[in-house]
Amino acid sequence: MGTEDVEQALPNLDTPCLIYCGDADGFFPSAKASAGLIPNCEFITLPGLDHGQASRASEESLPFILKFLKQMTPTKV
């Protein structure tokens, strides 16, 4: 699956989504653009963090993650 295929698929996602990314991450522009293509997606910027730092920055990211999860309605599978 190429980049264009992914970009075409993102608008079809129907699950709430949270994407967070450090603004010093090389993937930041594409992560933000991808989030803009996903309906019902929340994008969180972690200032000054690169990719590795953002993935380990639980003190910064966890409040956003918990808030997002608290907004979800449980469903039976």
Residue 41 inside a domain? The answer is yes
Residue 77 inside a domain? The answer is no
What's the confidence (pLDDT) of residue 6? 85
d(CA 77, CA 74): 10
Total domains in the chain come to 1
What's the confidence (pLDDT) of residue 74? 81
> What count of other Cβ atoms lies within 10 Å of the Cβ of residue 35?
18
Both tokens of 50, joined, read: 């690169």
Q: What percent of the chain has pLDDT over 90?
A: 83
Those residues with Cβ within 8 angstroms of residue 20's Cβ, 6 or more apart along the chain or in another chain: 43, 44, 45, 46, 54, 61, 64, 65
Q: From 37, 41, 28, 39, select the one nearest 7 (Cα to Cα).
A: 37
pLDDT in tens, 30-63: 999 999 999 999 999 999 999 999 999 999 999 9
pTM of this prediction?
Answer: 0.83
Residue 20's domain spans which residues?
A: 3-70
Residue 19 inside a domain? The answer is yes
Question: Is the pLDDT confidence value at 26 over 90?
Answer: yes
User: C-alpha angle with apex 35: 32 to 40, nearest 5 degrees?
Assistant: 150
